[in-house]
Amino acid sequence: MEKNGNPPPYGWSNGYMQAPPAAPPSYSQAVGGVGPSSPYTPHYQPTTGPQIVTTVVPLGPQATHMICPSCHGEMNTATQTKPGLIAYIAGSILCILGLFCGCCLIPCCIDSCMDVHHKCPNCGAYLGRYRR
């Protein structure tokens, strides 16, 4: 039983050999190549289909006079104020802070925290909301 095999391959060299610095590429190699052409610019062709004209009326905190996209009737939007996301966040923060004796409902009563939801009074279609 002789286990005198080959020595491990990493044990043969103990000398400090520095690799020769890589030779810089010659200029003819660097310049002679094909230069980068103009950068790729995607061409967006405008679709010339039938244009759908939508009258976007900015919804404000008040009732807005507009044409309902659902029933196409002219009306003033019916507004409804509901506590917005800020009110819920502020309320939950107040709850975490320990003010849970009704104080967490304060943001829901502050007008600036309320979102105004617009609905069509004729057909009841939801038209959007105004976030303060």
Select 81 or 122, whichever has its Cβ closest to Zn ion: 122
Helix (H) or strand (E) holding 106: helix 106-109
Cα–Cα distances (Å) from 17 to 7, 10, 14, 20, in that order, read: 21, 14, 9, 9
Q: One symbol per residue from 52 to 91: x for binding Zn ion (CB under 5 A), - otherwise; what is it?
A: ----------------x-xx--------------------
Token pair 């502050």 in the structure block, residue: 110
The verdict on 123 binding Zn ion (CB under 5 A) reads yes
Question: Would you tell me how many other CB atoms lie within 10 Å of the CB of residue 29?
Answer: 9
Write out the binding residues for Zn ion, residues 14-43 only, by CB under 5 A: none
Selection from 129, 85, 91 nearest residue 107 by Cα: 91
Name the segment binding Zn ion (CB under 5 A); options: 3-11, 36-44, 83-91, 114-122: 114-122
Distance CA 23, CA 26 (A): 9
Name the segment binding Zn ion (CB under 5 A); options: 10-18, 26-34, 88-96, 118-126: 118-126
The verdict on 103 binding Zn ion (CB under 5 A) reads no
Binding site for Zn ion (CB under 5 A): 68, 70-71, 120, 122-123, 125
